[in-house]
Amino acid sequence: MLAYSLAYLLSNENRCSKLRFHEGNLSLDLSRTLVNEHDLAQLVDLLSRRLVDQRLVDMHTGQLVNTSEKRPVLHTLLRGTIDDSSSEYLVNEKLFINEQHQKMIDFVNKVHSGVILTPNGKRVSSVINIGIGGSDLGPAMVFEALSSNYSNLVEIRYLSNIDIHDFNKATKDLDPTATMVVVASKTFTTFETLLNLNRVVSWLSQGSDSRYVKDQLVAVTSAQDLALHFGIKAENIFQFKNYVGGRFSLASPIGMSIALGYGVQVFDELLEGMAQGDSFSLSGNHESNATMQFALNLYHHRTVLGMQTRAVLPYTSALGRFPAYLQQLIMESLGKSVTHSGEVTDECGIMVFGEPGTNAQHSFMQYLHQSPQIVPVDFIVILDANPKSAHGLLVNAIAQANALAIGKSATDLNLEGVPEDLIPHQVMQGNRPSSVIAIKDLSAVSIGQLIAFYENVVSILGILWGINAYDQWGVELGKEMSANLINSINARNLDNLDESTKWILQKYLDAN
């Protein structure tokens, strides 16, 4: 398969310059990946053969591209990317989006200025965002990413898992009478979120008149009726519609915790960056478009070269949650094995894992350098970072990329005088592909561009593979099964369960 020599390909100036791309605050270098000029031409041709431009237009104009759920996919409308004047439907949806956005902005400004107080008459000093999956990962990732450049106006905590340790951590040292709770849930039915919500309501009741505790709650949801039914006031409910998938919902009021934490201007800058990222993905020719080229490169390594796994290594701790965020975005979107028409395919899906560098170097990088499996790597570096550590981070990322690409031969080791018996252990094959994504800085605009970049790459990959990147039926069965098992545990009745399930649940019941 590896008819590529990266050492050779990297010496070809013409090829390398063709594999460098720029989009706003992002630069992308694909020169260390396993593509030659012939592959490049074929891949670009694939964009036309798969009607990628037309399919993107279909998405942006509200066609039912989420075929299994018969829904449009309009998260890009949230950041105003699309020319919404093209249909009455889009005009109306944009009006709705703007209205909810404005409602959220006014609310957040009133919290910051003290016009909105807690029911105890205190200024809001902390916010707990309860949510999971797309209602947590995006906001929590961005909140951390921006933390070195922006100051908090209020303390923000994220609560997603139902483990009591998480609850204790999220509420630790907070004053329940000065805390506001954002319940972020598209469906408002998610088990974990509702369990945490009930726990938090009890915690809020300490020191407060329980009749008013629910006034401390804010809901972000597309199921307003359920939030109202729970007792959340209509003026505290911010909506988005079901044409925005959970993992694509950051630009909706789901991102409210970012606005509460850093102010509405920062949130709007994030949206501005996302809008720019969207327009980059649609502009220019295919040969020079970073988003298209990155999607094609991922397609090539996965489908043509058969590399199913990918590592994402941000060389900044500020992007510590980025791999987890990307895992949902990429794996929930592209982890499918049938096409739109239901035909089985085994060519799609990418398993993603990652950890900030340099930490990753001291844990799993050994596998990437010498295991029999080849795992392409995305190195994400920040150009304008903290000067004290920036050199070290950048240099380490590039050194790793070079070590993967060039490796070290037995001949070189021999010349260095390495003992014969150690040579096989120290040989590094090289030819291991990686990309470098260089971000100008950790500003809200740049982070917005990065998010939109990956979101659009996912949409393009969905089109190239002919799969629905917007449903997640696989998650549903597990939800159903856990609901049944909870009933069995509550009733302490394990009849009708298979032997393995009975064994572990019995052990749990014995221990409790």
Catalytic positions: 332, 362, 479
Give, rounded to a whole angstrom, the gap between the first and last alpha carbons of the chain. Answer: 55
Pairing of strands 309-314, 351-354: parallel
Does residue 133 interact with ligand F6P by CB under 6 A? yes
Does residue 135 interact with ligand F6P by CB under 6 A? yes
Question: 75, 79, 157, 247: which one contacts ligand F6P (CB under 6 A)?
Answer: 247
Sheet holding 26-29, edge to edge: 20-23, 26-29, 434-439, 377-382, 309-314, 351-354
Which of 438, 160, 461, 169 has its CA nearest to residue 292?
Answer: 461
Q: Which is nearer to ligand F6P, 184 or 296 (CB)?
A: 184
Cβ of residue 225: shortest distance to ligand F6P, in angstroms?
14
Question: 171, 185, 449, 456: which one contacts ligand F6P (CB under 6 A)?
Answer: 185
Site for ligand F6P in 274-313 (CB under 6 A): none
Question: 132, 219, 232, 305: which one contacts ligand F6P (CB under 6 A)?
Answer: 132
Q: Which is nearer to ligand F6P, 235 or 476 (CB)?
A: 476
Answer left, alpha or beta for residue 349, where phi above 0 means left and psi between -120 and 50 means alpha: left
From residue 465 to residue 484, the character string flagging contacts with ligand F6P as x (rule: CB under 6 A) and all else as - is -------x--x---------
d(CA 235, CA 233): 5
Q: % helix / strand / coil in the chain, to the nearest 5? A: 55, 10, 35
The window from 38-46, 133-141, 419-427, 457-465 that contacts ligand F6P (CB under 6 A) reads 133-141
Angle in degrees, CA 135, 79, 126, rounded to 5:
40
Helices (H) and strands (E) in the chain, counts: 21, 11
Residue with tokens 């009726």: 225
Q: Which is nearer to ligand F6P, 23 or 471 (CB)?
A: 471
The window from 182-190, 227-235, 304-312, 414-422 that contacts ligand F6P (CB under 6 A) reads 182-190
Cβ of residue 190: shortest distance to ligand F6P, in angstroms?
3
- The encoded tokens of residue 44 equal 């670009």
Cβ of residue 219: shortest distance to ligand F6P, in angstroms?
11
Does residue 186 interact with ligand F6P by CB under 6 A? yes
Judged by DSSP in three states, 68 sits in: coil
Q: Which is nearer to ligand F6P, 215 or 332 (CB)?
A: 332
Which of 200, 191, 198 has its CA nearest to residue 168?
Answer: 200
Does residue 193 interact with ligand F6P by CB under 6 A? yes
The window from 130-138, 161-169, 389-397, 493-501 that contacts ligand F6P (CB under 6 A) reads 130-138
From residue 199 to residue 238, the character string flagging contacts with ligand F6P as x (rule: CB under 6 A) and all else as - is ----------------------------------------
The window from 53-61, 85-93, 126-134, 236-244 that contacts ligand F6P (CB under 6 A) reads 126-134
Q: What string of DSSP letters covers 86-120?
A: G-HHHHHHHHHHHHHHHHHHHHHHHHHHTSS--TT
By CB under 6 A, name the binding residues for ligand F6P.
132-135, 185-187, 190, 193, 246-247, 332, 472, 475
